[in-house]
Structure formats: C-alpha cells, structure tokens
Amino acid sequence: MRRRALAMVLKALVAAVALLGLPLAVVLPTSIWQSQQTALDDQVASLAGLIGRPDGDGTFAYTTLSSWAGQDDNARTQIRVSERGHTVYRAGPTITGWTHTASVRTRDGRVLTLTRDASGTLGYMAGACGLVIVGCAVAFGVGTLIALRGSRRIAAPLIYLAAQAEQVGAGQVQVRQAPSGIEEIDLVQEELARSSSRMAGRIAAERQLASDIAHQLRTPLTALSMRIEEISFLSDDPAIGAEAEECLGQIDRLTQVMDDLKNNAYRTRSSARALRLDEVFLQQEREWKTEFAAVGRDLVFVNEAADRLPVATSGSLSQALATLIENALRYGAGTVSVTARCGQTSRSLFIEVSDEGEGVSDELAPEIFRRGVSGHGSTGIGLALAKDLVEADGGRLELTRRRPPVFTISLTALSASLDPNRVMPKGAVVSVGRRARRI
C-alpha cells in the first residue's frame, strides 16, 4: 500500500514538474534572447539620428560613432554604415559565431547596422536553464519527501488496523486504536471495534448461560441423588439397591458432563502458552503511555519474576491487564504500577496492578467482579470479562487490597529453564512470498 501510494504521488509530481519545468526551460531563455535583441534595436534607433548630421565642417559625424564604439560596454559591438549596397564606414571588431544584429534605414537612405557578440547572452540563457533544472530538482526532492511522509501516514493506520484484526482473531476481543484522521480507515476501525465489543458480549452471554444452566441443573440432580440414596437405604430388596446404585452412577456422569460443558464454555487454554512478561509489559506500555502522559500521570512496569514464564493466552492476559490499567487511569490517581512477582511455590506467579487513588468502597468490593456492577456509572462488564479471561487460563483475578486498590492476577508459571525456545531448537525458515514459516 505504501509503495502504491508513493508511486502514485511521484507520478503526479513528475507530471507537474514536466508540465511546468519544460515550458519554463524554453520560455525563460527565449525571453532573455528577446530582451537583448530589443535592447540592441533601441540602440541602433538612437544612433540612427547621428547619421546625416553634419559637424562643424559639414562632414559626416563618423567621429561620434567611433567614440561610441570605443566605449567598454560596446567593446564586442561592430558598427557598419552602408550606402547603396557599399560599406562606407566600419568601426569595432569583427564578430563571429552567435550574434545579435539590428539595422535601420536613415532618412537620407543610408543603412546603419549594429552587430553584437551573443556569447554573453548564451551564458545568461544557460544559467537560466540551470536555474530551472535546479528548481525542478528541488521541487522534486521536496515533493518526494512529502510523498514519503504522506505514504507512511496512509500506510501506518492500515498496518495498525491489520494488527487490530489479528488481535481480535487471537482472542483479544476488545482492542483499542487511536483515530488516524483518515475517515475511511477510521470507519473500518470503528466498525471492527463495535464488532469486537459485540463478540465480547456474545461470548460473555454464552458463558453466563452455560454457568446458569449448570447451576440450575445441579440443584435438582443433587436432590434426585439424595432421594435415590434414601430409597436405597430404606429398601432391603437387593434389586432395588442395584438399580439405585446404577441411577446414582448415571447422575454422577450427568453431573460430570455438565461440568465439562461449563468448562468448555470458559476454556481457551488450547491457545495458552508460556509467555514472556517483558513482551506483554512492553506492548501495554506502548499502548497506554500516550494517554498517561496526556494527563500528567506515570505508568510503571516492574518485572521481579523474570525467571518465570506465565502460562496464559497472550490476548486474554493483555486484555485483562488493559482493563485494569484503564480503570486505574479513569477512576484512580497518582502513579499506576504493574508489578510481577514470584509466588511461594515455583509454579506460581502474581501480577499486581495498583494506583494511589481512593480505592474501592466497602459496599462495592464484594460485588466488584459481578457483571453489571459499577461504582462509576459504567456498564460493569470490563472487570467481569477480565476475570472470565483470567479464569479461562486457569488463573484468578482478585481485589487483594481495597485502599489504595491492588488487583492481583494469579497464574501458573514455568521456570525460565523450560522456555520452549530453549528446550526445542528452532527449525529452518521457509520463505513463501512475503510470509515466513518455521518447520
């Protein structure tokens, strides 16, 4: 896209330079030649008045013409007076090569001719052509720089838009991107954001439905199992006892199926992998530093667990962190700190997000992760969705301190010695077009 935009602008620039530069390269030297010729015509007209004027003894005023020809300004000019086809007077050097020539016939029939060397005029014309060429080159260079900057301005939002779509495909259903200022790209970005929000709501609704169904079915199944156990206890018939045991087994299997279905509704661990927290923190810092700087606040990332790798889905963890950071920016105060630290065991890792604000009220704290609950008039979906995403990766999201607030994400971790890039060697890179794959 960037190359196409650049090529299009450069073609327009070449056409503009050609349409303006080529005519100027012809018109400007021509005007210089014409101005010099006009000046010579004026001079020969003024000198023509001397022809036929007698001086004191009645002779022709050739002495005045000789004096004019001897001036420094006229050193490369020849004067010639002709009468009836014959030269009767000549003054000045013989001129060869390119010349300017002007003639005029006097009232007494004589012809006065001035011939001037045009080498100086040719120099001026060459200089004018050089200026035109330099001007066109400068215009082309400036236009190229503007085209490069403009192509980057057009291509960059498209690259960010592709990355946003990739994030949605990777599971980070709520993504953010600053407006680019290009209406068409912003319209696509807004529609993608709306689609991702609808997708997030649909996923949350499906998970909530699965949870509600499992909860509603588990209670009657528990009551049914208790009734069957009571019947088995009260009856002495072995056949009834055997049937009761079979029924209890079927109820247990049905309960397990419901639990599996519920877990499948939440499970996204098929894409969970060992992550490098430094990369996740760097991505979040790039995303939020501009907004924090705009309000004069600081966002600090500290990784005290560099020797451990959390097992999580990259999009889910990034989305959960983004939700906590956004809440700290909107409703908190002071410096926002994101700190990763090791747990008591070698398989645990904690990520804490804190700020220096007033915190969470005692009334709101017990219900803060419940869907639709908000203390600031928002939708109340963000924290609930963040909790679902973390729990889908086998982790926990908790409010570990109310004032000042501290939210803690608990994740399973691997030792850095088990980094997949260390345990398994990288294969060769096979390039197909602009894509590269490892085998």
For residue 131, pLDDT over 50 is answered with yes
Rounded to 5 degrees, φ, ψ at 415 are -70, 145
Give the per-residue pLDDT at 355.
Answer: 95
How is residue 267 written in tokens? Answer: 């499970």
Average pLDDT score over residue span 263-280: 70
CB neighbours of 395 closer than 8 A, spacing ≥ 6?
312, 409, 410, 411, 412
Give the per-residue pLDDT at 416.
Answer: 53
| Amino acid at site 406 | V
Among 153-162, 202-211, 233-242, 374-383, the range with the most confident prediction by mean pLDDT is 233-242
If residue 125 lies in a helix (H) or strand (E), which one and from where to where? helix 119-169
Give the per-residue pLDDT at 249.
Answer: 75
pTM: 0.42
Q: Among 86-100, 166-180, 230-244, 362-376, which is the least confidently predicted range? A: 166-180
pLDDT (tens digit per residue) in 400-413: 999 999 999 999 88
For residue 26, pLDDT over 80 is answered with yes
pLDDT (tens digit per residue) in 93-102: 888 888 888 8
Rounded to 5 degrees, φ, ψ at 155 are -75, -35
For residue 426, pLDDT over 60 is answered with no
Residue 89 class from Cβ within 10 Å (0-12 exposed, 13-18 middle, 19+ buried)?
A: middle
Average pLDDT score over residue span 71-95: 77
pLDDT (tens digit per residue) in 289-345: 989 999 999 999 999 998 888 988 888 898 899 999 999 999 999 999 999 999 888
- Work out the percent of the chain whose per-residue pLDDT is above 70: 80
In whole angstroms, how far apart are CA 322 and each of 102, 315, 410?
A: 85, 10, 16
SS3 207: helix
Name the pLDDT band for 439 (thresholds 50, 70, 90): very low
Q: How far apart are the first and last CA of the chain?
A: 30
Residue positions counted in the chain: 439
CB neighbours of 203 closer than 8 A, spacing ≥ 6?
173
How is residue 230 written in tokens? Answer: 């009571």
pLDDT (tens digit per residue) in 391-402: 888 899 999 999
Other Cβ atoms within 10 Å of 92 Cβ, number: 20
Domains of the chain: 2-121 (no CATH), 183-266 (1.10.287), 273-423 (3.30.565.10)
The overall average pLDDT reported for the chain is 79
